[in-house]
């Protein structure tokens, strides 16, 4: 029989441990994911709730709960909030931080770090912005989004595109950490079958499909397609991933540029690994155990 699991917690880690235990209690001796969740949970909340105004209000309220905790303990109605005060404080902090990244104060853009890289073109219409001169072509806003984006006609397209791609990147990092914890647990308990025939193929499958897509996203962000050529041929991540499976990674250079060098070969190699890993995960370990 395996011993029962016990994690000693304090006022900061108790609520996070309860969240983890809701999904599953780690076995005795396993790595405790609550250590990472104590930061990843409030950070991902901030990514979703990013707003300087709302996040700042949550941070102030949670800060008051932390500062006056001893004086508020006798109020029964605040007992639950007091038990979550440190988690709420981190959630408010990260929501405010991501609000600065999004440059969003209750749907109002701010010029906290100076004016943007675009100037208002009065000769056209109220939504017409233009870069002021040739020197500003490489202009980059010091921190977060340029405030002009929220006032532009393409604000929804721009924000949705960024948040969708950023969410995919953070999700794959988050899932990779979980799989790595599984591999560390397998090494700790000397479970060689789990390590070689579960952890390794799972990590390869995740990184070959979605990890590779993250590489394409980042490379597309880092490339100035105006300098490459016709911007109408700027590649689409969705089209690239669809072509990766349906067309063997082949792309038509007359319609879209390649995102990375040797893109066709890399895509075919990733698809090959992605096809090998499922039977590796599902068949090898049961067959070895039966033998």
| Distance (Å) of CA 276 to CA 120, 128, 133, 153, 200 | 55, 52, 53, 46, 12
Cα 175 from Cα 88, distance rounded (Å): 24
CA distance 125 to 112: 25
189-201 tens-digit pLDDT: 999 999 999 999 9
pLDDT at 226 > cutoff 60: yes
- How far apart CA 80 and CA 65 sit, in angstroms, is 11
Burial of residue 96 (number of CB atoms within 10 Å: 0-12, 13-18, 19+): buried
Burial class (CB in 10 A: 0-12, 13-18, 19+), 40: middle
Q: Which two tokens stand for residue 166?
A: 């950023």
Side-chain half-sphere CA neighbours of 263 within 13 A: 23
pLDDT at residue 124 greater than cutoff 60: no
CA pair distance 25, 18, nearest whole angstrom: 9
pLDDT single digits (tens) 20-31:
999 989 889 899
What six digits make up the tokens of 141? 């806003």
Interval 51-107: pLDDT, tens: 999 999 999 999 999 999 988 888 888 888 898 999 999 999 999 999 999 998 988
Q: Which long-range contacts (CB under 8 A, 24 or more apart) does 66-75 make?
A: none
- As given in the structure block, the two tokens for residue 7 are 């994690």
Distances (CA, A) of 272 to 71, 139, 245, 256, 266: 62, 42, 10, 24, 10
pLDDT tier at 135, thresholds 50, 70, 90: very low
Classify burial at 56, counting beta carbons within 10 Å of its beta carbon; exposed 0-12, middle 13-18, buried 19 or more: middle
What local confidence, expressed as pLDDT, does residue 133 receive?
47
The pairing of beta strand 119-120 with beta strand 129-130: antiparallel
Lowest-pLDDT range of 91-95, 151-155, 236-240: 151-155
- pLDDT for 159 beyond 90: no
Kindly give, in sequence order, each residue whose CB lies less than 8 Å from that of residue 137, ignoring residues fewer than 6 positions away: 131
pLDDT of 244 over the 90 cut:
no
């Amino acid at each position: 029989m395996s011993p029962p699991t016990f994690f000693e917690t304090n006022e900061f880690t108790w609520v996070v441990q309860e969240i983890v235990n809701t999904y599953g209690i780690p076995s005795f001796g396993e790595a405790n994911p609550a250590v990472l969740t104590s930061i990843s949970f409030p950070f991902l909340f901030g990514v979703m709730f990013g707003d300087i105004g709302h996040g700042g209000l949550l941070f102030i309220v949670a800060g008051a709960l932390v500062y006056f905790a001893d004086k508020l303990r006798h109020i029964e109605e605040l007992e639950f909030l007091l038990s979550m005060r440190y988690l709420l404080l981190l959630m408010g902090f990260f929501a405010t931080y991501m609000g600065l990244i999004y440059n969003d104060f209750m749907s109002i853009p701010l010029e906290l770090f100076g004016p943007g890289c675009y100037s208002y073109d009065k000769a056209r219409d109220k939504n017409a912005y233009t870069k002021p001169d040739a020197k500003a072509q490489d202009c980059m806003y010091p921190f977060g989004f340029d405030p002009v984006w929220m006032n532009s006609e393409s604000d929804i397209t721009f924000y949705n595109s960024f948040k969708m791609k950023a969410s995919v990147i953070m999700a794959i990092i988050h899932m990779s950490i979980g799989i790595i914890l599984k591999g560390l647990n397998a090494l700790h308990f000397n479970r060689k079958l789990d390590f070689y025939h579960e952890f390794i193929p799972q990590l390869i499958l995740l990184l070959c499909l979605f990890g590779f897509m993250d590489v394409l996203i980042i490379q597309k962000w880092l490339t100035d397609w105006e300098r490459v050529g016709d911007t109408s041929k700027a590649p689409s991540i969705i089209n690239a991933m669809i072509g990766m499976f349906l067309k063997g990674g082949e792309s038509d250079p007359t319609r879209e540029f390649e995102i990375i060098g040797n893109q066709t070969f890399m895509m075919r190699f990733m698809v090959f690994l992605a096809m090998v890993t499922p039977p590796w995960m599902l068949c090898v370990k049961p067959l070895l155990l039966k033998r």
